[in-house]
C-alpha cells in the first residue's frame, strides 16, 4: 500500500521544492541520494567520483526546481539526470569515446518502439562504460568475442592464450556486465 502513496508523496515533495522549500529538498535528498550514488558507483572507479556526481545531480535538481512541478515520475527523472551527468563526466574526462551510429529508420516508430530504442542505446552506453573499466586482457577478449564475432579458438590463437582462459575472461566480463542490471532496476 505504501507504493501507491509514494508517487503522491514524491509529487508533493516536488511541488514544495519548486516553491523553494529547503526542508522538502532535504527529505528528497535523504531518500534518493543513496540510490543515485549506488547507481553511479556501479560505473565509476572511485566512491568519491560517485559521491561528487550524485551531489551534482541534486545541485542541478535544486537549480532547476521551478520546473519540478511538471515531473510525473521522480525515479525516471532522477535516473535520466544521473545518466546524463555520468555521460557528461565521462565525455569530459576522456575516459571513454562513443561512436554515434546513425541508423536509417524507414518506418515511423511508435512511442513504445522509440522508448525501447532509446533505452537500448542508453543500456549500450552503460555497458560500454563497464567494458572500458575491465582489465585489459578481459576487455580485449570480450571485444573480440562479442563485437568482432571471433570464435574462442581464434581469440586464443591471436592472443596466445588457452581456449579455457578465453572462456574464463568472457565469463568474468559477462558477470561484470550483469552487475549493472540491478543498478538499472533501482529506477524501474
Work out the percent of the chain whose per-residue pLDDT is above 70. 79
Q: Would you place residue 1 in the very low, low, confident or very high pLDDT band (cuts 50, 70, 90)? A: very low
Query: Per CATH, which fold does 106-188 belong to?
Result: Arc Repressor Mutant, subunit A (1.10.10)
Q: What is the mean pLDDT of the chain?
A: 80
- Least confident segment among 46-50, 100-104, 133-137: 100-104
Query: Per CATH, which fold does 1-97 belong to?
Result: Rna Polymerase Sigma Factor; Chain: A (1.10.1740)
Contact between 21 and 68 under an 8 Å Cβ cutoff? The reply is no
What is each CA distance from 70 to 119, 170, 182, in whole angstroms?
Answer: 22, 44, 28
Q: Would you place residue 186 in the very low, low, confident or very high pLDDT band (cuts 50, 70, 90)? A: low
Contacts of residues 171-175 at CB distance under 8 Å and 24 or more positions apart, as own/partner, are 172/138, 173/131, 173/134, 173/138, 173/139, 173/141, 173/142
Work out the percent of the chain whose per-residue pLDDT is above 90. 30
Average confidence (pLDDT) over 8-15:
81
* Measured distance CA(142)–CA(133) in Å, rounded: 12
- Least confident segment among 6-10, 69-73, 86-90, 107-111: 107-111
**Which of 10-14, 96-100, 116-120 is the most confident on average?**
10-14
Q: What is the pTM of this model?
A: 0.56
Q: What is the DSSP letter of 43?
A: T
For the chain, domain boundaries? 1-97, 106-188
Q: Would you place residue 152 in the very low, low, confident or very high pLDDT band (cuts 50, 70, 90)? A: very high
What is each CA distance from 55 to 82, 85, 125, 134, 182, in whole angstroms?
Answer: 10, 10, 22, 26, 21
Is pLDDT at 39 greater than 80 in this prediction? yes
Is pLDDT at 175 greater than 80 in this prediction? yes
Q: Would you place residue 136 in the very low, low, confident or very high pLDDT band (cuts 50, 70, 90)? A: very high
Q: Reduce the DSSP state of residue 44 to 3 states and report it.
A: coil
Average confidence (pLDDT) over 152-175:
93
What is the reported pLDDT for 108? 42
What is the reported pLDDT for 167? 94
Amino acid at each position: 500500500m505504501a507504493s501507491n502513496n509514494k508517487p503522491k508523496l514524491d509529487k508533493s515533495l516536488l511541488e514544495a521544492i519548486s516553491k523553494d522549500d529547503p526542508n522538502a529538498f532535504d527529505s528528497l535528498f535523504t531518500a534518493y541520494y543513496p540510490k543515485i550514488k549506488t547507481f553511479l558507483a556501479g560505473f565509476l572507479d572511485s566512491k568519491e567520483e560517485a559521491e561528487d556526481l550524485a551531489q551534482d545531480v541534486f545541485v542541478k535538481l535544486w537549480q532547476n526546481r521551478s520546473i519540478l512541478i511538471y515531473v510525473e515520475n521522480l525515479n525516471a527523472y532522477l535516473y535520466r539526470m544521473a545518466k546524463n551527468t555520468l555521460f557528461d563526466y565521462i565525455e569530459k574526462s576522456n575516459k571513454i569515446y562513443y561512436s554515434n551510429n546513425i541508423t536509417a529508420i524507414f518506418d515511423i516508430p511508435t512511442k513504445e518502439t522509440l522508448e525501447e530504442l532509446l533505452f537500448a542505446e542508453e543500456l549500450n552506453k552503460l555497458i560500454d562504460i563497464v567494458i572500458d573499466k575491465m582489465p585489459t586482457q578481459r576487455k580485449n577478449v570480450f571485444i573480440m568475442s562479442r563485437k568482432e564475432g571471433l570464435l574462442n579458438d581464434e581469440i586464443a590463437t591471436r592472443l596466445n592464450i588457452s581456449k579455457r582462459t578465453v572462456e574464463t575472461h568472457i565469463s568474468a566480463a559477462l558477470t561484470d556486465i550483469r552487475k549493472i542490471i540491478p543498478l538499472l532496476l533501482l529506477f524501474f
